[in-house]
Amino acid sequence: MNISIESNASTETAVGLLWDWLKSNESGIARAEGLPGSSKAYLLAQIKKKYSGPICVLSSEFNSAETLFGDLKYFERVVKSGTTPGFFPSWEILPYENISPLKETEGERLSVLSHCLEDKDVFLVTPLTAFLQAVVPPKELVSQRFPLAKGDSLEREFLETCLAENGYNRVSIVEVKGDYSVRGDIVDFYMPSEHAPHRIEFFGDEIEAIRQFDGVTQVSTNELESVSLFPVKEICPSEGQAKRAVEKLLARAQSQKADDRHVKETVEQIMQLRMFSGMERYLPFYYEQRSFLMDYLPEGTLLVIDEEDAVLEKMDAFINIAEEEFASGVERGDALPPVEDFFMKRDEFFSRLKDSKILFLNALKMSSEPATFHFNVSLNPPFRGQFENLAEQALSWEGEDRKIITVAPTKGQAKRLQELQDEYRLHYDVDQGVLSMGFEFPEFDTVFVAEHEIFGRGYKAPARRKPKSQSFQRGFKDLKSGDYLVHVDYGIGLYMGTRELTTDFSGGEFLELLFADKERLYVPMEGLGLLQKYVGAGEGTPPLSKLGSVAWKRQTGKVKKALQEMAGDLLKLYAVRELAEGHAYRPNPIPMQEFADSFEYVETDDQLKAIEEIEEDLEKDKPMDRLVCGDVGYGKTEVAMRAAFKVAFEKKQVAVLVPTTLLAQQHYKTFLERFKNVALNIACLSRFVSPKEQKQVLKGLKHGEVDILIGTHRILSKDVQFADLGLVIIDEEQRFGVKHKEKLKQMR
């Protein structure tokens, strides 16, 4: 629904005084205080509507910046400020870390920087670290950005060259961000900043059509008039930039007494114009001038700082971390740009902003400075899951002539609120949107109530997931020349480093593997899934496999045969299990829903599917045996905790088996936090638990007083006796040996 709110504030109120300050030509610092929760975003939307100039908002942390940005997107629609806010993310890696940011992150950053060059009506939210870190200079980005429009005269070969020089990897079919392909008169490419790839169709040397298409089906979707091509990374060096980078690196190497071998390898990668992992830590070496996000902002930009003390504290802490990481890198023999070349310190920050307007937004009223505007915003009282409490509070708000808006994230939830409102004969607006927290804003005679506040579920932040490409990259973070790798098809090889190669079908960076008889295999980056680190018993070095030999196939054939035999055994086991009877757990939608609602993130589709299927299995009268797979950070633990809750809710015991003591402690803390509002007894067994405490745990376990037990292989000891074991959860099952698994079979 459409909701519009206007401010009728007089010049004597805090709002009116703030408007006067914004309209004045004076630079300097002002403070708006008494703004808890989402009220800051609401005020910012009102400011943008009244103040026609550009605005940049800084928040101390990435998460707080994202939450503020999410609220701002909602209020921009409600207030109708006329400008859609943008988000400039940080790299989300440590300063000088030897890995690259996500391609998606670099794409978003380049897209925002380009927008700042084209449009003076800037409305940005950014974490502080992104503001303090050097970026590609504006003139360099202008030279790398390539606009394409329908009807343009352009040789297809020139576009191919442009894509290659901007870091795109040529493939046969475009499915992954950063790839491009050429098929006759069609050029496809996938920019990291976009949600879908683009297709350029040529007729001779003229662009006939520009479309977006589905990366899975390869079917074109919508047609566009134009598109701007951005580089894949923030560093896509020209020969001149590479030469400059090498000169600066060698100068630093001499002054820092860097490791000659490491410097030589880095120089080789730079001079060959390679896109190598961690190259971003050398960013200041590539460019002649030092630039920041600040240099992209239009003149007269209002800088808004979310929580003054938090930002200033974070500023100093971040620079300290940068200096520590710089010192650590130098100690390892790396030649790095100094901190002052890469980051903006506090003195420079305020020095460069001395002629700007700066507005601090604070939740608490602390300042007595002249230019301080005190607001009287209050957070909503707790409704404790009872709509009656909201109805009662609404009467009080209506008595003060407040406009009340409840906000629900989905159509179904909004409809539910509307029905409850009609039932209680309440007359306030119900809107669909995402709001992290509600509030009462007397200066605007307005109240916002988030749906999750009414029913006590807690705000669910969208889960941030790392793409698999970075999960792999982080897993191989310490990979170095001389390490052994296993190729699925060819066996064990020695990693020799990366090489830049061009073939008839593709080009880019390849991993070089040395096999027996000095034969070499080059694996493209898209083939990384075929490799894994060699993990063998003992400390000896494994023999290298011979390319073209049948030895590796024979060896894997034996494994295949053993697996087939195991599969036969499993079939027999499953046949027996089908005849066996297990405990059928009752459907308990209300308790399960309450436990699910207390989860602080939005579940992914895969999580919901896994949870639903596990619940269905538990409700059958057959024993359950399920494997849940997923990368680190993809929510497997939450799936396990949902199953544990369902079992423990019926007074059956749950055992959570983990391979290491550290992991046991981590899971123990996670379970305690997740089950803090549930009357279940959770215990841990590991070497971190004293003998006295272990005895108490074992006693409680035997008598049914422990509901969930988390531990290492200590759980499999003879003295561990469960009163009524209902579920065994095994984390990283592949790390347990045969004896442990035999014991688990007996427990079943």
What DSSP assignment string belongs to 674-722?
HTTTS---EEEESTTS-HHHHHHHHHHHHTT--SEEEESGGGGSTT---
Domain C-terminal end among 530, 548, 566 = 548
User: Per the domain annotation, does 565 fall within a domain?
Assistant: no
CA of residue 17 relative to chain centroid, distance: 39
pLDDT at 11 over 70: no
Q: Give the tokens for residue 450.
A: 């988030």
Give the pLDDT confidence score for residue 165 in this predicted structure.
85
- Sheet hosting strand 484-487, strand order edge to edge: 520-524, 507-514, 491-502, 484-487, 531-533
pLDDT at 471: 40
Please determine, for residue 572, whether its predicted confidence score (pLDDT) is greater than 90.
no
What percent of the chain clears pLDDT 90, i.e. is strictly above it?
41
- For residue range 367-383, what is the model confidence (pLDDT) as tens digits? 777 788 999 999 998 88
pLDDT at 460: 56
Q: Residue for token digits 């003195």?
A: 347
- If you average pLDDT over residues 104-126, what whole number do you get? 89
Asked whether residue 463 is assigned to any structural domain, the reply reads: no
More confidently predicted of 324 and 567 = 324
CATH of the domain at 181: 3.30.2060.10
Q: What is the mean pLDDT of residues 328-336?
A: 91
Out of 27-31, 307-311, 476-480, 722-726, pick the least confident: 476-480
In eight-state DSSP terms, residue 153 is B
Whether residue 463 has pLDDT greater than 60: no
3-state secondary structure of 203: strand
Check whether 117 has a pLDDT greater than 80. Answer: yes
Asked if the model's pLDDT at residue 513 lies above 80, the reply is: yes
The DSSP symbol for 353 reads T
Q: Are residues 484 and 542 in the same domain?
A: yes
Query: 110 and 164: one domain?
Result: no
Averaged pLDDT for residues 138-149: 89
Least confident interval from 132-136, 242-246, 514-518: 514-518
Both 609 and 729 in a single domain? yes
> Can you tell me the distance from the alpha carbon of 7 to that of 17, in angstroms, rounded to the nearest whole number?
13
State how far the Cα of 493 lies from the Cα of 511, in Å rounded to an integer: 11
Mean pLDDT of 47-51: 89
Domain final residue, candidates 548, 572, 592: 548
In this prediction, residues 162-189 reach a mean pLDDT of 89
Contact 59, 65 (CB under 8 A): yes
Instruction: Give a yes or no: residue 569 inside a domain.
Output: no
Q: Are residues 114 and 155 in the same domain?
A: no
Pair 598, 733 in one domain? yes
- Asked if 56 contacts 48 with a C-beta cutoff of 8 angstroms, the reply is no
Most confident segment among 11-15, 246-250, 539-543: 246-250
Q: Where are the alpha helices (DSSP H) in 409-476?
A: 411-423, 451-454, 468-475
The two tokens of residue 610 are 């896994």
pLDDT band at 607 (very low <50, low <70, confident <90, very high): confident
Residues 107, 158 within the same domain: no
Residue closest to 592 by CA, chosen among 522, 646, 657:
646
Q: Note whether 592 and 717 are same-domain residues.
A: yes
Given a cut of 70, whether residue 505 has pLDDT beyond it is no
The stretches of 332-374 forming alpha helices (DSSP H) are 339-342, 346-352
Is residue 244 in some structural domain? no
What distance in Å separates the CA atoms of residue 189 and residue 176, rounded to the nearest whole number? 9
Q: How confident is the model at residue 684 (pLDDT cuts 50, 70, 90)?
A: very high
Of the candidates 264, 263, 271, the one whose C-alpha atom is nearest the C-alpha of residue 239 is 271
Place of tokens 């067994």: 685
639 versus 540: which is more confidently predicted?
639
**pLDDT tier at 10 (50, 70, 90 boundaries)?**
very low
Note whether 135 and 173 are same-domain residues. no
Residues 464-487, mean pLDDT to the nearest whole number? 60
Domain count, the chain: 5
* pLDDT tens per residue across span 88-102: 999 988 889 888 888
What would the DSSP string read from start to end of 180-193? EEEETTEEEE--TT
Range of the domain at 494: 478-548
Digit-coded pLDDT (tens) for 191-212: 987 889 999 999 999 999 999 9
pLDDT for residue 705 is more than 50: yes
Is it the case that residue 643 has pLDDT exceeding 90? yes
Mean pLDDT of the chain: 85
pLDDT at 233 over 90: no
Q: Please report where in the chains the tokens 């959770």 appear, as a residue.
A: 682
β-sheet bridge partners, residue 510: 499, 524
